[in-house]
């Protein structure tokens, strides 16, 4: 839909809305509707860049050598060839000395990161931070002292559903493109896999290549980093998602300050359902009911108890654990945000002093040896700190598989993030104990593995 047509429709709708019903200034005539966003785009667009991540990949000339069974029976070393894979995304210059914000998935695995400015100049980029938990990455290019155009951060908590926004990026590699839409929804948390996903939803057209680009307010500030779309075709259908600028700002600060350390509260919870709301005397489902509290953690020291409900953090309502984790992630360790707690029919405010997740037990990384289903896998003990790094449930316990590579464990179907719970009926408590249990199995292994909350049993003889 063209801007002029959308403007005409908007003018017709606004003509039916009483002026007193609008808290913000809205167009009251066609001359106001015909005002342009061009000055904003002219100022912001030079700060939106292209990001290319190039990776050299080796593969067998004969594709049959990709099959482990073929290699087992026919042996030999395959003739290899190299090819260059390239991913394309966008980025936003947030500091004039060449600090650029983009998505982690745009540069993930890239061996050669190149940034192309709007004037077509290209620079090699250095990765200051790549954080899978937030799907954000911070790059640095050497400007030789030149000051680049930037976009200032907006306060994403000030956004309202219905606000006009612009999306700027390079969809499909066609060149820098600007689209317009509105904020369709806020606080979308059931979109990505990360515990820190808390998206702004917009109907501004976002397509492949827009990832890492800017979602901009009509006063020219960065509201979010365009990251994902909902689509069955891979193309925009008007449902796009952006990571809020308040979290993006926190990641940039962490990258420039020696790394981002996300704090935690030492608790886990779930959304309040209708049944839970009725049982505790709430009029409607709202808040996050605490199911588990880590002994000695911030929540425990603040006096919070299981069964109590977190209604808001710093005056902002929360409705699920991802939303609560997002509110915590925008703070630093040592901050003490105010929690609104509901318990026993009463409300109270509690200051919870945040801290970094503890590394207890110590990781004790180990590569599994011998001949067993986990041979070649790298494992480590789970602690809140390790779970944070691996984007897992922060209350997880046990031994987690960190990497498998081309090992026997990978051929058996094990994946990073798998938690080994038991071997032949014995509970696994540490990496060293896991190795001992595997060695003592006598050629028969029955393993229980937790993968993303689902328990699986694997039995191997040999």
Residue 394 has pLDDT above 70, yes or no: yes
Instruction: Give me the mean pLDDT over the 103-122 stretch.
Output: 89
pLDDT of residue 5: 46
Contacts with 2 (C-beta within 8 Å, 6 or more apart), sequence order = none
Residue 60 has pLDDT above 70, yes or no: no
The CA radius of gyration of the chain, in Å to the nearest whole number, is: 25
121: its two tokens: 């100049």
The alpha carbon of residue 207 and the mean position of all alpha carbons in its chain are separated, in whole angstroms, by 18
Gap between the Cα atoms of 402 and 376, Å rounded: 11
Gap between the Cα atoms of 401 and 366, Å rounded: 10
Give the least confident one: 45-49, 80-84, 201-205: 80-84
Give the least confident one: 18-22, 268-272, 419-423: 18-22
Q: How confident is the model at residue 360 (pLDDT cuts 50, 70, 90)?
A: confident
**Residue located via tokens 């913000």:** 24
Q: How confident is the model at residue 17 (pLDDT cuts 50, 70, 90)?
A: very low
Q: pLDDT tens, 304-358?
A: 999 999 999 999 899 988 889 889 988 989 999 999 999 989 999 999 999 999 9
The residues spanned by each domain of the chain are 3-35, 48-259, 267-351, 366-461
Instruction: Give me the mean pLDDT over the 94-104 stretch.
Output: 94
Q: How confident is the model at residue 20 (pLDDT cuts 50, 70, 90)?
A: very low
Tell me which of 90, 131, 135, 195 is the catalytic residue: 135
pLDDT of residue 233: 62
pLDDT of residue 300: 95
Tell me which of 87, 105, 203, 245 is the catalytic residue: 105
> Greater confidence, 362 or 189?
362
Tell me which of 211, 236, 383, 396 is the catalytic residue: 211
Cα pseudo-dihedral 76, 77, 78, 83, rounded to 10: 170
pLDDT of residue 137: 93
Gap between the Cα atoms of 447 and 450, Å rounded: 10
DSSP 338-395: EEEEEETTEEEEEE---BPPP--S----EE--SSSTTTT-EEEE--HHHHHHTT--TT
Reply yes or no on whether 105 is catalytic: yes
Do the domains at 267-351 and 366-461 have one common CATH topology?
Answer: yes
Q: Average per-residue pLDDT in the chain?
A: 84
User: Counting beta carbons within 10 angstroms of the beta carbon of residue 13, is it exposed (0 to 12), middle (13 to 18) or buried (19 or more)?
Assistant: exposed
CA proximity to 216, closest of 265, 158, 151, 273 = 151
Instruction: Give me the mean pLDDT over the 294-302 stretch.
Output: 93
Question: pTM of the prediction?
Answer: 0.74
Q: How confident is the model at residue 235 (pLDDT cuts 50, 70, 90)?
A: low
Residue 11 has pLDDT above 70, yes or no: no
Task: Fold for 267-351, please state it.
Answer: Pdz3 Domain (2.30.42)
Please tell me the class of the 48-259 domain: mainly beta
Gap between the Cα atoms of 428 and 436, Å rounded: 10
Reply yes or no on whether 283 is catalytic: no
Instruction: Give me the mean pLDDT over the 356-366 stretch.
Output: 90
Q: How confident is the model at residue 244 (pLDDT cuts 50, 70, 90)?
A: very high
The domain 366-461: what is its CATH number? 2.30.42.10
Residue 18 has pLDDT above 70, yes or no: no
CA proximity to 330, closest of 243, 217, 248, 227 = 248
Q: How confident is the model at residue 6 (pLDDT cuts 50, 70, 90)?
A: low
pLDDT of residue 227: 87
Gap between the Cα atoms of 114 and 139, Å rounded: 10
3-state secondary structure of 424: coil
Reply yes or no on whether 346 is catalytic: no
Gap between the Cα atoms of 385 and 398, Å rounded: 13
* Cβ count near 92 (within 10 Å): 29
Q: pLDDT tens, 259-269?
A: 778 898 999 99
Gap between the Cα atoms of 169 and 167, Å rounded: 7
> Greater confidence, 392 or 296?
296
pLDDT of residue 458: 86
Residue 12 has pLDDT above 70, yes or no: no
């Amino acid at each position: 839909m063209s801007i002029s047509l959308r403007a005409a429709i908007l003018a017709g709708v606004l003509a039916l809305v009483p002026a007193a019903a609008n808290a913000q200034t809205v167009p009251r005539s066609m001359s106001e509707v015909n005002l342009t966003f061009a000055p904003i785009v002219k100022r912001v667009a030079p700060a939106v860049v292209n990001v290319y991540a190039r990776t050299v990949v080796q593969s067998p000339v004969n594709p049959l050598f990709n099959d482990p069974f073929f290699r087992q029976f026919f042996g030999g070393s395959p003739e290899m060839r190299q090819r260059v894979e390239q991913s394309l995304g966008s980025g936003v210059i947030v500091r004039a000395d060449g600090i650029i914000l983009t998505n982690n998935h745009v540069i993930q695995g890239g061996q050669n990161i190149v940034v192309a400015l709007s004037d077509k100049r290209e620079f090699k980029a250095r990765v200051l931070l790549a954080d899978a938990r937030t799907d954000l990455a911070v790059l640095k290019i050497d400007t030789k002292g030149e000051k680049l155009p930037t976009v200032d951060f907006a306060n994403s908590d000030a956004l309202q559903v219905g606000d006009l926004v612009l999306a700027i990026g390079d969809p499909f590699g066609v060149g820098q493109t600007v689209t317009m839409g509105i904020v369709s929804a806020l606080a979308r948390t059931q979109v990505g896999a990360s515990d820190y996903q808390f998206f702004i939803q917009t109907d501004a057209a976002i397509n492949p290549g827009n990832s890492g680009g800017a979602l901009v307010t009509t006063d020219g500030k960065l509201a979010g980093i365009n990251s994902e779309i909902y689509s069955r075709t891979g193309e925009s259908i008007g449902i796009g998602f952006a990571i809020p600028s308040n979290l993006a700002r926190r990641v940039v600060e962490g990258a420039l300050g020696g790394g981002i350390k996300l704090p935690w509260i030492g608790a886990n919870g779930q959304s309040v359902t209708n049944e839970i709301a009725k049982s505790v005397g709430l009029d409607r489902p709202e808040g996050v009911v605490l199911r588990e509290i880590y002994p000695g953690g911030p929540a425990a020291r603040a006096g919070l108890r299981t069964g109590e409900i977190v209604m808001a953090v710093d005056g902002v309502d929360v409705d699920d654990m991802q939303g609560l984790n997002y509110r915590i992630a925008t703070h630093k360790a040592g901050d003490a945000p105010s929690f609104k707690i509901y318990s026993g029919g009463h409300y109270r405010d509690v200051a919870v002093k945040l801290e970094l997740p503890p590394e207890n037990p110590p990781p004790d990384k180990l590569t599994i040896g011998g001949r067993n289903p986990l041979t070649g896998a790298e494992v480590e003990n789970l602690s809140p700190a390790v779970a944070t790094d691996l984007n897992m449930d922060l209350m997880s316990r046990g031994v987690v598989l960190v990497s498998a590579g081309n090992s026997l464990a990978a051929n058996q179907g094990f994946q990073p993030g798998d938690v080994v719970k038991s071997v032949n009926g014995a509970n696994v408590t540490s990496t060293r104990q896991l190795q001992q249990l595997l060695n003592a199995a006598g050629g028969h292994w029955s393993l229980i593995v937790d993968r993303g909350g689902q328990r699986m049993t694997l039995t191997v003889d040999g």
